[in-house]
Amino acid sequence: MRLEYFQLIDRIVDLDLAKSTIRCEAKVPTTSTIFEGHFPGYPLMPGVLLIETMAQTAGWLVVAANRFERMPFLAAVKEAKLRTFVMPGQTLDATGEIKHEGSGYAIAAAAIAAGGKTVCDATLTFRIVPFPNAEMNEQMRARAIEIGYPMGAPADG
């Protein structure tokens, strides 16, 4: 994870478009300027970044399902539960599943576990729109390769 750059997913471990599921790995850094404020003397992974991590996990799945032709933007977070603290240095196991693919939107369930224990979960709504510009599309494709987007999946349509 590079918290300051919002790069929260380190590696796609598994992506199954037939089952509409994804599993990603993300290691919380041991140091970050964010921990200087959250909280002084007691560094914790902010809950909003855990929600963002779930959104990015499910988001990569939605990007893949849309063959990198359209981009999901987070529109709603429902039933988000932050069940336990996440500390610097912990390795997170983030999972996502598309529950419904509508016209221009998708509903996904996402969760994060650490050490086999669920630390948070939520239901996420994404608006799905054409990429705003070609540069963003290229950046997403480049980032996908960096985090191990599986070659067998339709990255190029």
Which of these ranges, 19-27, 29-37, 81-89, 103-111, lies near other proteins under the rule CB under 8 A? 103-111
Is 100 noted as a catalytic residue in this protein?
no
Which of these ranges, 13-21, 30-38, 97-105, 113-121, lies near other proteins under the rule CB under 8 A? 97-105
Q: Which of 29, 34, 73, 105 binds other proteins (CB under 8 A)?
A: 105
| 76 binding other proteins? (CB under 8 A) | yes
Please give the structure tokens belonging to residue 144: 């996908």
| 102 binding other proteins? (CB under 8 A) | yes
Closest CA to 111 of 102, 101, 100, 124: 124
| 104 binding other proteins? (CB under 8 A) | yes
The amino acid occupying position 128 is I
Laid out side by side, the sheet with 11-16 consists of: 11-16, 21-27, 91-101, 105-114, 117-130, 70-82
Q: Which of 21, 118, 125, 137 binds other proteins (CB under 8 A)?
A: 125
| 100 binding other proteins? (CB under 8 A) | yes
- What lies within 8 Å, CB to CB, of 25 at 6+ separation is 9, 10, 11, 13, 91, 92, 93, 94
Nearer to other proteins, 52 or 101 (CB): 101
Angle, nearest 10°, between helix axes 47-65 and 134-146?
A: 100
Residue 92, classified by CB atoms within 10 Å of its CB into exposed (0-12), middle (13-18) or buried (19+), is buried
Q: Per the residue annotation, which of 16, 21, 38, 73 is the catalytic one?
A: 38
Nearer to other proteins, 70 or 141 (CB): 70
Is 29 in contact with 2 (CB distance < 8 Å)? yes
| 103 binding other proteins? (CB under 8 A) | yes
Q: List residues binding other proteins (CB under 8 A).
A: 75-76, 100-105, 107, 125, 127
